[in-house]
Amino acid sequence: MFPGFFDYIQADAKSVYDILFRFRPPPGQDGADVVLPKEVGCLTHCRRGFWEAAITLKDPLARVGLARIHRFYKLEETWRDKPPDAIRRLRNTHLRPELADFFHWARKHLEVFKDQRGLVTKPLATP
């Protein structure tokens, strides 16, 4: 579908998109030289998962996740009227470190819950 594209693809979590991230080589070929695009999750779906866990389970970890994501949205809101180059600089300076810390936090907590299914595990695995 995207020949020669090897970067990131953000797709909804619907199973219909799974084909974009799985490669089955043609018969007789091993496909060792094929590079697949990297799947990236949607922050809105991640946020929704934390919200469901926070509301349904009153989970404190989910509340922390919501607060972190809320900070991202608040930062973006303050930059809304700025030109694209300024927004890019602001994102790189302020948002990128917070996102990196968020992903580190999510991976660390996912290790604790990785063998469990549930409302808390899903958003931790989304980023």
Residue 31's pLDDT band (cuts 50, 70, 90):
low
Q: Return mean pLDDT, the chain.
A: 85
pLDDT digits (tens, 9 = 90+) for 54-101: 999 999 999 999 999 999 999 999 999 999 999 999 999 999 999 999
Q: How far apart are CA 86 and CA 91, in angstroms?
A: 9
Which tokens hold the place of 50? 């934390």
What is the rounded CA–CA span in Å between residue 36 and residue 16?
Answer: 17
- pTM summary value: 0.74
CA distance 78 to 46: 22
Our CA dihedral for 41, 47, 53, 56, rounded to 10 degrees, sits at: -130
Pairing mode, strands 8-10 and 38-40: parallel
> What DSSP element (H or E) covers 44?
helix 43-57
Beta bridge partners of 104: none
Q: How confident is the model at residue 44 (pLDDT cuts 50, 70, 90)?
A: confident
28: alpha, beta or left, given left = phi > 0 and alpha = psi -120 to 50? left
- Is 2 or 90 the better-scoring residue by pLDDT? 90
Residue with tokens 């389970």: 57
